[in-house]
Amino acid sequence: MTVNSHNVIGWKEDVYKSVAFYNDWFINYAPEAYKKTRSETASSVAIALEVTNFLADISPAKIIEHPEILPILRMSTVPPIARDRLTGLSQAPKSLVDSIDKHKRIPARMTKDMLDSGLEKISTTLQNMLDTDIFAWIGTGRVPTQDEENRASIIIADRLCGVVADPIIRNAQEQRQLASVRQWLEVRGYKMVGKTDENNPRTMQPGTFSFRLNIPVILDGGLTVNIPVDAVIQPKNAKPGTMPLLMEAKSAGDFTNTNKRRKEEAVKFSQLKRTYGDDIKFFLFLCGYFDSGYLGYEAAEGIDWVWEHRIDDLSLFDLPAGDRKSVV
């Protein structure tokens, strides 16, 4: 039995409602998600200013002591510079810049001479490019006023968040989607559990669910790898050893990216079928911009879905309610 993939006539209306649902969330809640992250980032910038003596000391020794400040320093220049641009401008080893900027650590296997030389190049490049319009105290021999420090922290935090604005929104949306699923299940008497035996998802007890599990699958060459699944739900009426329902939460703020990523779900479904059989139940939980091209592709691959704006369709995936209870 299919839930929505067969209802081609209803796709157009559902697409319209899904877009409206997403836009309503974005207008009313996305700004708060962004501002919350910006506030947290501004606190990190303020700490970076203090540990560098308000940018008077961005020496190699300071970067070694506090590698987490490098992304902040990149956004403190005029113009702000990307990670790869810093590598090009400074002529420091790419592995050094990537290790510090991405992983917040000094590469363990780099020779001391190469490390010292690379850090000196990074430090000099950043020092020469600091934005003195934002950091007006630089070169004056004074420390910033509290207002100057606060203003600079917010500006650099805005720059940092602007680079990752889409992931911030996507993460907030994913959390909200999973919270909606959790509430829907708990109202119907299902219990959220922690990490189960991920090597054997069939051990989940009836009436339980979990989020973000790694499920083992077998690839073409026989290699076993773990793939992440957003939600794993074991129906109340499941018999012992039954494979639970597997759900992927998907949201999108435009039609372009969904069609670029539509193969991801098909590949994952194919891997799951190869490992657990063709009768495995895998579906999508959609919110936002998913057009008929995307839906047609997924339907052709045998993948069904539930729209978040009509979340009660979850009940059609063999999820008996049992006794309902209120959730505070």
Same domain, 139 and 220: no
CA 238 to chain CA centroid, Å, is: 32
Task: Let me know if residue 321 belongs to a domain.
Answer: no
Report yes or no on 239 lying in a domain. Answer: yes
- Residue 286 predicted with pLDDT over 70: yes
CB 246, CB 282: distance < 8 Å: yes
Phi, psi of 252 (to 5 degrees): -155, 140
**pLDDT per position as a tens digit, 102-122:** 999 999 889 999 999 999 999
Is residue 61 in a domain?
A: yes
Q: With CA atoms as reference, report the closest residue to 255 among 18, 43, 6.
A: 18
Give 198's pLDDT tier (boundaries 50, 70, 90). Answer: low
Mean pLDDT, the chain, rounded, equals 90
pLDDT in tens, 144-162: 999 999 999 999 998 888 7
Question: How is the beta sheet containing 191-192 ordered, strand by strand?
Answer: 191-192, 208-218, 224-234, 245-252, 282-288, 304-307
- The more confident residue out of 81 and 35 is 81
Kindly provide the b/e burial profile for residues 136-166, where b requires at least 16 CB atoms within 10 angstroms of the residue's own CB.
ebbeeeeebeeebbeebbbbbbbbbbebeee
Is a pLDDT exceeding 60 seen at residue 17?
Answer: yes
Same domain as 299, residue 202? yes
> Domain holding 253: CATH number?
3.40.1350.10
Question: Virtual CA dihedral for 315, 319, 322, 325, nearest 10 degrees?
Answer: -60
Residues 205 and 143 grouped into a single domain: no
* C-beta separation of 246 from 279 below 8 A: no
- Do 64 and 147 lie in one domain? The reply is yes
Tell me the H-state helices in 52-145. Answer: 60-65, 70-74, 83-90, 94-103, 112-129
Beta strands in 219-265 (DSSP E): 224-234, 245-252
Residues 259 and 189 in one domain: yes
Q: Residue 328 — pLDDT band, cuts 50, 70, 90?
A: very low
Domain-ending residue, one of 116, 138, 164: 164
Residue 9's pLDDT band, with cuts at 50, 70 and 90, is very high
Tell me how far apart the terminal alpha carbons of the chain are, to the nearest angstrom.
34
**Mean local confidence (pLDDT), 121-129:** 96
Secondary structure letter of residue 308 according to DSSP: G
In the prediction, which pLDDT does 235 show?
93
CA triple 125-127-128, angle to 5 deg: 65
Go through 240-279 and write b for each residue having 16 or more CB atoms within 10 A of its CB, e for each that does not. Answer: eeebbbbbbbbbbbebeebbeebeebeebbebbeebbeee
- Tally of domains in the chain: 2
Are 171 and 112 part of one and the same domain? no
pLDDT for res 327: 44
- Does the pLDDT value for residue 257 go beyond 80? no
Above 50 in pLDDT, residue 326? Answer: no
21 located within any domain: yes
Of 164, 191, 216, the position where a domain reaches its end is 164
Mind listing the pLDDT tens digit for each residue in 225-244? Answer: 999 999 999 999 999 889 99
Is residue 324 included in any domain, yes or no?
Answer: no
124 with 263, same domain: the answer is: no
- Do 188 and 309 lie in one domain? The reply is yes
pLDDT of the residue at 317:
86
pTM exceeds 0.85 for this model:
no
228: burial class by Cβ within 10 Å (0-12, 13-18, 19+)? Answer: exposed
Output the pLDDT for position 209.
Answer: 94
Q: Are residues 160 and 171 in the same domain?
A: no
pLDDT at residue number 33: 80
What's residue 172's pLDDT?
86
What pLDDT shows up at residue 27? 87
The pLDDT of residue 134: 93
- Is there a domain that residue 327 lies in? no
For residue 250, the cross-strand partners are: 286
- Domain shared by 52 and 18, yes or no: no
Q: Which tens digit of pLDDT belongs to each residue from 71-95? A: 999 999 999 999 999 999 999 999 9
Range of the domain at 143: 35-164
| Boundary of a domain, candidates 164, 193, 215 | 164
Instruction: Classify residue 326: in a domain, yes or no.
Output: no
Question: Are both 185 and 296 inside the same structural domain?
Answer: yes
pLDDT of 324 higher than 70: no
Residue 204, in any domain of the structure: yes
Query: With 60 as the cut, is the pLDDT of residue 322 above it?
Result: no
| Separation CA 36–CA 50 (nearest Å) | 22
Whether the per-residue pLDDT at 52 is higher than 60: the answer is yes
Q: What pLDDT shows up at residue 318?
A: 78
> Do 77 and 143 sit in the same domain of this protein?
yes
